[in-house]
Amino acid sequence: RKGGDNMQKRSIYTAQEAAQIANVSRWTVYKWIRTKGLPAKRVGQKFVIPIKPFMCWLDNSRKTMEPTIDGAD
């Protein structure tokens, strides 16, 4: 079964899923992990992002972050 229902029951997101939720590119999510303190753990060569901390981080960041143009440094 695909779609949002499956993502709701999990405890982690991939970088791609987090990007879709935040409406940014996957590369922006990686940048946030490196420079903005986005909570994530490396598993092998990939990052996994815990859902609850991500949603709190995203909510707080939206209140304090300047609008960014995706891909801009």
State both tokens at 66: 């300047």
CB 33 within 8 A of CB 68: no
- Mean pLDDT for the chain? 84
The single-letter code of the amino acid at 46 is K
In this prediction, residue 61 carries a pLDDT of 85
- Give the pTM: 0.72
DSSP state for residue 24 in the 8-state scheme: S
Q: 9-54, pLDDT tens digit by residue?
A: 789 999 999 999 999 999 999 999 999 999 999 999 999 999 999 9
